Amino acid sequence: MNEKAPALTARPAWKALHAHWDALRGVHLRDLFANDEHRGERLAAEAAGLYLDYSKQRVTDGTLGLLLALAAECGLRERIDAMFRGDRINVSEKRAVLHVALRAPAGSSLTLDGLNVVPQVQAVLGRMEEFTRRIRSGDWKGHTGRRIRNIVNIGIGGSDLGPVMAYEALRWYSERDLTLRFVSNVDGTDFVEATRDLDPAETLFIVSSKTFTTLETMTNAQSARAWTLAALGSDTTVAKHFVAVSTNAEGVAKFGIDTANMFGFWDWVGGRYSMDSAIGLSTMLAIGSQHFRAMLEGFHAMDEHFRTAPLERNLPVLMGLLGVWNTNFLGARTVAVLPYDQYLKRFPAYLQQLTMESNGKHVTLDGSTVDYQTGPVYWGEPGTNGQHSFYQLIHQGTQAVPCDFIAFRKPLNALGRHHDLLMANVFAQTEALAFGKTAEQVKAEGTPDWLVPHRVFAGNRPTSTILADQLTPATLGALVALYEHSVFTQGTIWGVDSFDQWGVELGKALAQRIVGELEEPAGAKLAHDSSTNALIKRYRRTDR
């Protein structure tokens, strides 16, 4: 049993924040900027190559002071130390949370139960590097003696979203002679479309699954095995065309993959925090081990900043606290993540699991039901595409949608005026969202009276801008770590376990039961509710 923590809503700083919001509610960002000509530079912080401008959030120095007081009351500093110390802060699963060890430099130390885990991490990295060298040099041969040209990662959730996101984000740095594909969905279309133009003799599957029991991944892995054997025959082909990334050596061996070709990780790495573990094998194959190491250095730089920087200048802490402010005081229910970089097109999808599987919780660590909002819905699309789609609602809709804009000073693909145009849009959007356009301004442009209300922009819509020099492996590492730690900061304030995911269990268990019923002859007795029964019966009709 965990000791009961004082209720969040009873904390002095929480109450003070409520009173403060009552006073600030009517204040416009126009006024906040007008009253402080240096606000734009003052409300900004920088670390690990990322510059965070939060001046367009609806906060004052007073707000930030109270949010930091709340962080102190919730023991944020102690929780950060506990994580880095290897304490079992994932209380519902009784696990340590040590993804920071995945990017700790060789020779450093992070201990769990008195044992330094960094050497284990480095040993796996060394094996991944050797494997990468063999694949990229053509030294590793497929069953027929041909070199491997296609890599297919099979995994789902944290064993897919991180690898896909990182591959897309760092594609500019990738070896173009290797084709990378990702299969996650149990929908057969995913596998069929991903492999239809691939030659099995030149294809290697990475079966990525922390547990090696996940239905989708195991089903796709079996289909991959059948696909390979159908083309290449003998059972010995599996050894040449399959490797595994898992914590479950027994499961891997049972599947028929030689554990010599398994890359391990540990129960103290959560699935959604694992893209820099062996789960990143496809990333390393694509970008090479030097770039992978550079990505780890970016992660580590942000880890060190999070661990050591004063909370008032600590990027993940500031981002996390601003998220709490927007969720619990401004009443925002969603956050839009808007990368102005095409290579980050999968970043919002990746963040959805990181944020929502972590903080979509309804009870605190001690099992009490919360009486406040926890994790908001994250969503987004790369700019400028979103501007021609959902930005209308963000500018003029009736709900507050705080936005994170992410942009880079230097393009990877310089092409005419493209980058200036892209960046002009970033700056224009955050300016428009903050300051809007008054009825007077609209009228002064000669707009007829009847049209004025339609053309007014209220403004006062909160945004943060993350600006970095260029999208590099290190920048990506720092960016991911920034979000990981801001999620942890928020989870600490909300008092929830950001590292478990019990909410995915019920649907999985029911699906296991129903699949049996679907495969039974039509007419077998069903004992669900009338809606589920009717849907199952309709599906089972023999005229499919």
Judged by CB under 6 A, which of 150, 203, 217, 223 binds ligand F6P?
217
Looking up tokens 């999070």 gives 306
Reading the block at residue 226, the tokens are 């059948």
Cβ-based nearer residue to ligand F6P, 157 or 477: 157
Sites for ligand F6P among residues 415-474 (CB under 6 A)? none
Sites for ligand F6P among residues 190-209 (CB under 6 A)? 209
Please, what is the minimum distance in Å from the beta carbon of residue 493 to ligand F6P? 22
Under the criterion CB under 6 A, does residue 211 sit at the interface with ligand F6P? yes
Under the criterion CB under 6 A, does residue 226 sit at the interface with ligand F6P? no
Cβ-based nearer residue to ligand F6P, 53 or 484: 484
Q: Convert residues 29-68 into a mask of x (bound to ligand F6P by CB under 6 A) and - (unbound).
A: ----------------------------------------
Please, what is the minimum distance in Å from the beta carbon of residue 209 to ligand F6P? 3
Of the ranges 39-47, 211-219, 296-304, 363-371, which one interacts with ligand F6P (CB under 6 A)?
A: 211-219
Cβ-based nearer residue to ligand F6P, 142 or 158: 158
Measured CA to CA, the distance from residue 24 to residue 50 in angstroms comes to: 29
Cβ-based nearer residue to ligand F6P, 159 or 464: 159
Reading the block at residue 492, the tokens are 């600490």
Please, what is the minimum distance in Å from the beta carbon of residue 153 to ligand F6P? 12
How far lies 357's CA from each of 71, 251, 323, 377, 383, in Å? 22, 25, 16, 10, 25
Cβ-based nearer residue to ligand F6P, 304 or 500: 500
Nearest to 463 by CA among 42, 29, 69: 29
Under the criterion CB under 6 A, does residue 158 sit at the interface with ligand F6P? yes
Cβ-based nearer residue to ligand F6P, 400 or 514: 514
Measured CA to CA, the distance from residue 66 to residue 23 in angstroms comes to: 14
Cβ-based nearer residue to ligand F6P, 217 or 489: 217
Of the ranges 45-53, 154-162, 452-460, 517-525, which one interacts with ligand F6P (CB under 6 A)?
A: 154-162
Under the criterion CB under 6 A, does residue 157 sit at the interface with ligand F6P? yes
H or E element in which residue 112 lies: strand 111-112
Using DSSP's 3-state secondary structure scheme, residue 173 falls into helix
Under the criterion CB under 6 A, does residue 184 sit at the interface with ligand F6P? no
What is the DSSP secondary structure assignment for residue 505, as one 8-state letter? H
Measured CA to CA, the distance from residue 520 to residue 515 in angstroms comes to: 9
Under the criterion CB under 6 A, does residue 90 sit at the interface with ligand F6P? no
How many chain residues touch ligand F6P (CB under 6 A)?
14
What is the DSSP secondary structure assignment for residue 146, as one 8-state letter? P
Please, what is the minimum distance in Å from the beta carbon of residue 501 to ligand F6P? 5
Cβ-based nearer residue to ligand F6P, 158 or 495: 158
Cβ-based nearer residue to ligand F6P, 211 or 425: 211
Measured CA to CA, the distance from residue 16 to residue 367 in angstroms comes to: 26
Q: CB under 8 Å to 277, separation ≥6 — which residues?
A: 99, 102, 121, 124, 245, 265, 269
Sites for ligand F6P among residues 334-373 (CB under 6 A)? 357
Cβ-based nearer residue to ligand F6P, 123 or 511: 511
Q: CB under 8 Å to 217, separation ≥6 — which residues?
A: 154, 155, 156, 159, 184, 207, 208, 209
Which stretches does DSSP call E strand in 161-314?
Answer: 179-183, 203-208, 242-246, 262-264
Using DSSP's 3-state secondary structure scheme, residue 412 falls into coil
Judged by CB under 6 A, which of 60, 214, 289, 489 binds ligand F6P?
214
Please, what is the minimum distance in Å from the beta carbon of residue 247 to ligand F6P? 8
Q: Convert residues 301-340 into a mask of x (bound to ligand F6P by CB under 6 A) and - (unbound).
A: ----------------------------------------
Nearest to 474 by CA among 304, 305, 300, 294: 294
In this structure, are residues 401 and 337 in contact, taking their beta carbons and an 8 Å threshold? no
Judged by CB under 6 A, which of 17, 70, 80, 156 binds ligand F6P?
156
Reading the block at residue 340, the tokens are 């102005």
Residue-wise DSSP of 26-90 = T--HHHHHHT-TTHHHHSEEEETTEEEE-TTSS--HHHHHHHHHHHHHTTHHHHHHHHHTT---B
Q: CB under 8 Å to 503, separation ≥6 — which residues?
A: 357, 360, 361
Measured CA to CA, the distance from residue 115 to residue 19 in angstroms comes to: 47
Sites for ligand F6P among residues 265-294 (CB under 6 A)? 271-272
**Catalytic site residues?**
357, 388, 508
Using DSSP's 3-state secondary structure scheme, residue 102 falls into helix
Judged by CB under 6 A, which of 112, 242, 501, 517 binds ligand F6P?
501
Residue-wise DSSP of 156-170 = -GGGTHHHHHHHHHT
Please, what is the minimum distance in Å from the beta carbon of residue 407 to ligand F6P? 29
Reading the block at residue 206, the tokens are 């990475």
Judged by CB under 6 A, which of 504, 510, 518, 534 binds ligand F6P?
504
Please, what is the minimum distance in Å from the beta carbon of residue 277 to ligand F6P? 11
What is the DSSP secondary structure assignment for residue 258, as one 8-state letter? -
Of the ranges 152-160, 329-337, 338-346, 518-526, which one interacts with ligand F6P (CB under 6 A)?
A: 152-160
Please, what is the minimum distance in Å from the beta carbon of residue 212 to ligand F6P? 7
Of the ranges 123-131, 151-159, 433-441, 455-463, which one interacts with ligand F6P (CB under 6 A)?
A: 151-159
- What residues make contact with ligand F6P under the rule CB under 6 A? 156-159, 209-211, 214, 217, 271-272, 357, 501, 504
